[in-house]
């Protein structure tokens, strides 16, 4: 009789543990999918600099989605058209930007994909800009981005701050 009672108690404990485990898994799946999207559509006014000289005004059109999910942290996908980089102005150029933090330094990595409907394969677009952006805040209002020919695309505040650090 005591053996049967102990067996029933053990079965009930196993059922409770199993039910708790299932609830824990469902909660985990819910947490993993928590996050948010921010739709962005604005223009950044910047300049193209060489040394301390501003060569031209630059307009950067931003239209896309900033995502912050558990498995997709700090990413942007959409239009990031830079007026002095004509390859980024194409209507099929799709920018992918990822923010990283490495010790004390933060930086952004950018790549462009060609989303032309006629293409059968995915193709990267090479730009005159480096793949690493030195400064790009997550609101996408401040930028400092070096080009392959030694120039710099930057907002005035970011460029002045960079010059002050460089001359320090």
**Considering only CA atoms, which of 93, 81, 72, 91 is closest in space to residue 143?**
81
**Residue 8: per-residue pLDDT:** 87
Does the pLDDT of residue 27 top 80, yes or no?
no
Q: Which two tokens stand for residue 95?
A: 């920018």
Cα separation, 10 vs 119, in Å, equals: 62
List, in sequence order, the alpha helices (H) in the chain. 2-32, 156-166
Q: Cα dist. 96→10, 65, 88, 140, 151 in Å?
A: 54, 10, 12, 13, 22
Burial class (CB in 10 A: 0-12, 13-18, 19+), 29: exposed
What percent of the chain lies above the pLDDT cut of 90?
45
Task: Name the most confidently modeled range: 25-39, 76-90, 123-137.
Answer: 76-90
Asked if 100 contacts 108 with a C-beta cutoff of 8 angstroms, the reply is yes
């Amino acid at each position: 009789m005591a053996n049967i009672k102990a067996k029933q108690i053990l079965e009930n404990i196993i059922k409770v543990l199993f039910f708790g485990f299932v609830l824990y898994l469902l909660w985990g799946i819910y947490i993993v999918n928590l996050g948010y999207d921010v739709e962005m559509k604005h223009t950044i006014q910047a300049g193209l600099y060489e040394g301390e000289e501003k060569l031209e005004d630059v307009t950067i059109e931003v239209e896309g989605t900033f995502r912050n999910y558990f498995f997709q942290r700090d990413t942007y996908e959409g239009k990031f058209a830079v007026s002095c980089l004509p390859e980024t102005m194409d209507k099929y150029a799709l920018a992918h930007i990822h923010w990283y933090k490495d010790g004390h330094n933060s930086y952004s990595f950018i790549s462009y994909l060609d989303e032309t409907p006629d293409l059968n394969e995915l193709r990267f677009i090479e730009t005159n800009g480096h793949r690493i952006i030195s400064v790009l805040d997550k609101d996408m209002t401040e930028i400092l981005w070096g080009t392959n020919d030694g120039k710099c695309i930057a907002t005035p505040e970011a460029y002045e701050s960079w010059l002050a650090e460089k001359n320090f």
